[in-house]
Amino acid sequence: MTSSTHPASTGSSATPSTATVQMLTPDGERLDLDEGRRAELEQAVGAEALAHAAALTADDLLGMYRDMALARRVDTEATALQRQGELGLWASLLGQEAAQVGSARAAAPQDRLFPTYREHAVALVRGVDPAHVLSLFRGVDRGGWDAEATGVSPYTLVIGSQTLHATGYAMGVQRDGAVGTGDPARDTAVLAYFGDGASSQGDVHEAFVFAATYQAPVVFVCQNNQWAISVPAERQARVPIARRAAGFGFPGVRVDGNDVVACYAVVRAAADRARAGEGPTLVEAFTYRMGAHTTSDDPGRYRPSVEVEQWRDRDPLARLEAHLRRHHGVGDDAFAEVAREGDALAARLRRDVLGMREPGHGEMFEHAYAAPHAHVEADRRWYEEYVAGLEHGGAAADGEERA
Amino acid sequence: MTDDVHGTPGEGRTTQRVTLSRAINLGLRAAMEKEPKVLVMGEDVGALGGVFRVTEGLAKDFGDDRVLDTPLAESGIVGTAVGLALRGYRPVCEMQFDGFVFPAFDQITTQLAKMTHRTRGAASMPVVVRIPFGGGIGAVEHHSESPETYFAHTTGLRVVSPSNPVDAYWMIQQAVESPDPVVFLEPKRHYWDKAELDTAATPYPLHRSRVVRPGTDVTVVAYGPTVPMALRAADVAAGEGRSLEVVDLRSLTPLDLGPVEESVRRTGRLVVAHEAPTFLGLGAEVAARVAETCFFSLEAPVLRVGGLAVPYPVSRLEEEYLPDADRLLDAVDRVLDT
């Protein structure tokens, strides 16, 4: 295996024989618009993906930049809040903005997205208030945003379990007749997010089997960020993860996960396939987690800093900024405006987090079941009486002392 | 199958003599006819009709879209059922045997059981996990387990077990109608027991226990496969002039101990029987609760009759392992001699 430090650029993929599809170079050039490179790219991802990339306007691209920048700003603020003791934990997305924004922007409004616990940019793109995301990490809530309104399911912390939920949901979509109708407002795809570590989990493989068996309209979006906490990707997979799809009988493609254009175009084409009833696709976004797995670990203990520096040169925001400046005439003002918006969002987020209501003790008894359950009710009654007894007992004791 | 009647009752007749296996089949049919969102899924549940033929004919009548012969992957079955439930479906999953539920244990306990709480009630999980459970059929390893306590211990799940065809018919329909996930334990060695089923009768509530044989000397609590055993023991005891009152728990979570407590206040004596090992089994919970609520009525310590602290043995030894009427009667003797 080639080491995970190998550059993820076209023509020099991490492993021979699996090209890593790139459309936007680290220098900000668009390969998909280069006549000399189009044939090669078309062979790798199909004409549809190229067409989706080509259709992106300057506004679209600036919008993608904005999403990535805001997500990064949220991440920075959340990391700071954790360091200040305001969050119990934070799972940083630093470095994975393009994979998340590109894929999430490829989803149609009716599509359903099943994240793991690091898809903060996906949540942001879909209109989930970042404060809801942080409420999970602050420990005041399970992150209960409105999954129906946003199309984003709750985070799951058991690695890979949500890939099966996504597949089952997609099987439901099929039964609802919401695939292959040709109606773009009705046909529905499902996106299942997971990481390179999860690719070792049985549930992910079972999800592949079920999705292939039923030709479920699901796009598996694997963000290969190279590290499963301290275990490198090459200790999880002897072949590129994208190649596993072939063994299950559906297409797999590896894209440069730091290239928002390629991530968008490839996932968009895969989601279109799913909506048309042509079954699942695995997209491996080859990217890098620039920070720790979570605020609980220290990546300095398990990975060389030279590797981090190499990936810094492939920063997903920097390359899109370079492209926007050079080819679309976007100037300092626009980037300054995004930065201001980010700062305002971060300030608001900080206020919201610090002002979050502590959950009442009675809330832990709520929604354990959809219908009343005798044991929960009994424990709730006991607890309420116990707490009331403490309060009254305390007052009585005070009274006795005074007497 | 050796049922007296095949097919659903017709021409105004609502009573038929059916096996427990057939009763679940009829219950599933009724649920599927009533609600198009009900799906049946599992290994071999389609053309074969399940290894115990519980789903026989359902694929033919309801189609492959509603009766899914799934790949052989238990976690996949339950995990996709969670997703189907999120999309508004009501899946009924079959685990082929009790010992094979463990690959799905994670999905059942960390996902299925928690999704309603995680979503603050926005998502209900109307999923049934059917498990043929218990021993006594001379099977090989992993085919005779009693995993009920693992599931009863997890808040978010409901666990029930019918002990006879009539309960089986109604309880499977009630489980399908439940907005919460239900682990449905089918006493596999009683799949072929027969009873008269009236499909026009009023069903008994899902989560209520029931006195299935009144008596005055000792209260015996059982569920699933130990209920028929307890009834046999009661017959034998009656011949010896001892009157056993048998309570069928039916629901393991929530537990309905009202009838048990009422009974114990009359008899003063309690024996709990289950096939699972006694250590940390349901009997421990029943004993503790009854000790709390009926302490001054008890004339003797509560005794438990159950499986032994050994891996489920080879089939030639399972009769040694399983509690039987003799072991139950021995416990009855001990509580009466105290």
**ipTM computed for the complex:** 0.94
A187, part of any domain:
yes
Q: Judge if A384 and A336 occupy the same domain.
A: no
Domain contains A167: yes
Note whether residue A85 is domain-resident: yes
Percent of chain B exceeding pLDDT 70 equals 96
Active site residue A302: yes
- Considering the domain architecture, whether residues B307 and B241 belong to the same structural domain is answered as yes
Q: Residue A370: its chain B contacts at CB < 8 A?
A: 116, 121, 124-126, 179-180
Q: Are residues A299 and A372 in the same domain?
A: no
Asked if B25 and B166 sit in the same domain, the reply is yes
In terms of domains, do B150 and B276 share one?
no
Q: Which of B148, B169, B198 corresponds to the end of one domain?
A: B198
The CA-based angle B47-B49-B50, given to 5 degrees, is 120
| Higher-confidence position of A398 and B138 | B138
Domain match, B127 and B276 both: no
Chain B within 8 Å of A262 (Cβ-Cβ)?
no
B180, A371: Cβ pair inside 8 Å?
A: yes
Q: Facing residues of B307 across strands?
A: B277
Same structural domain for residues B188 and B276? Answer: no
Q: Distance (Å, rounded) from C-alpha A191 to C-alpha A185?
A: 17
pLDDT, residue A2, reads 36
Q: Let me know if residue A27 belongs to a domain.
A: no
Residue type, A309: E
Residue at a domain's end among B173, B198, B223: B198
| Residues B187 and B247 occupy one common structural domain | no
Rounded to whole angstroms, the Cα distance separating A178 from A186 reads 6
In a shared domain, residues A221 and A351: yes
Beta strands in A198-251 (DSSP E): 218-224, 227-228, 231-232
C-alpha A28/C-alpha A185 separation (Å) is 34
Residues B152, B116 within the same domain? yes
Q: Kindly tell me the burial class for residue A318, based on how many C-beta atoms sit within 10 Å of its own C-beta (0-12, 13-18, 19 or more).
A: middle
> Using 50, 70 and 90 to split pLDDT, how confident is the model at B123?
very high
Residues B223 and B159 sit within 8 Å (Cβ to Cβ): no
B114 and B136 housed in the same domain = yes
Chain B contact present for A148, CB below 8 A: yes
CA neighbor of A218 nearest in space, from A242, A188, A244: A188
Count of domains observed in chain B? 2
- B84 shares contact with chain A (CB less than 8 Å): yes
- B310 domain-assigned: yes
In this predicted structure, what is the pLDDT of residue A184? 96
Cβ atoms of A123 and A152 closer than 8 Å: yes
The b/e string for B297-306 (b: 16+ C-beta within 10 A; e otherwise) is: bbebebbbbb
CA of A5: how far to CAs of A26, A28, A195, A237, B325, in Å? 16, 21, 17, 15, 68
Range of the domain at B285: 210-337
Cis bond upstream, residue B254 (ω within 30): yes
| DSSP for B197-220, written as a single string | EETTSPPPPTT--EEEE--SSEEE
Measured CA to CA, the distance from residue A107 to residue A99 in angstroms comes to: 13
Q: Would residue A346 count as lying in a domain?
A: yes
Q: Is residue A12 part of a domain?
A: no
Catalytic residue flag (residue A165): no
Interface test with B, best of A162, A210, A375 (most B CBs within 10 A): A210
Asked if A103 and A79 sit in the same domain, the reply is yes
When scoring A369, A377, A380, A381 by the number of chain B Cβ atoms within 10 A, the one with the most, hence best to mutate, is: A369
End-to-end alpha-carbon separation of chain B, Å? 47
SS3 B68: strand
Q: Which of B85, B103, B119 sits opposite A154 (nearest CB)?
A: B119
**pTM for this one?**
0.94
Question: Which residues are CB-contacts of B331 (< 8 A; sequence separation ≥ 6)?
Answer: B271, B303, B304, B305
Which of these, B274, B218, B276, lies nearest to B248 by C-alpha position?
B274
Same domain, A248 and A379: no
Q: Does B180 contact A165 at a Cβ distance shorter than 8 Å?
A: no
End-to-end CA distance of chain A: 80
| B15 neighbors B196 (Cβ within 8 angstroms) | yes
Phi, psi at A112, each rounded to 5°: -115, 135
Residues of A in contact with B124 (CB under 8 A): 370
Q: What is the CATH number of the domain that holds A337?
A: 3.40.50.970
Q: Is A382 found in the same domain as A335? A: no
Q: Nearest-CA distance from B106 to chain A in Å?
A: 9
What tokens appear for B13 in the block? 């007749």
Of the candidate ranges A63-72, A383-392, B223-232, the one whose mean pLDDT is the lowest: A383-392
A213 and A271 in a single domain? The answer is yes
- Per-residue pLDDT tens over the stretch B38-59: 999 999 999 999 999 999 999 9
The domain tally of chain A equals 2
Residue B320: Cβ-neighbour burial (10 angstroms; 0-12, 13-18, 19+): exposed
pLDDT of A133 > 80? The answer is yes
A226 and A116 housed in the same domain: yes
Q: What's the CATH code of the domain at B176?
A: 3.40.50.970
Is residue A340 domain-shared with residue A205, that is, in the same domain? yes
* A311 plus A384 within the same structural domain: no
- Within this chain, do residues A333 and A370 fall inside the same structural domain, yes or no? no
Predicted local confidence at residue A399, as pLDDT: 44
B21, B164 contact by CB (below 8 A): no
**What per-residue confidence (pLDDT) applies to A50?**
97
Q: What is the Cα–Cα distance from B313 to B225, expressed in whole angstroms?
A: 18
Residue B128 lies in a domain: yes
Among A199, A204, A220, which Cα is nearest to A279's?
A: A220
B37, B181: one domain? yes
A240 lies in some domain = yes
pLDDT at A325 over 70: yes
Mutation pick from A175, A365, A366 vs chain B, by most beta carbons of B within 10 Å, is A175
pLDDT tens, B194-231? 999 999 999 999 999 999 999 999 999 999 999 999 99
Does residue B33 sit at the A interface (CB-CB below 8 Å)?
Answer: no
- The reported pLDDT for the residue numbered A395 is 52
Same domain, yes or no: B191 and B215: no
Is residue B89 assigned to a domain?
yes
Q: CB-based contact (8 Å) between B122 and chain A?
A: yes
Residue A382 sits in which domain range?
364-391
Does residue A141 belong to any structural domain of this protein?
Answer: yes
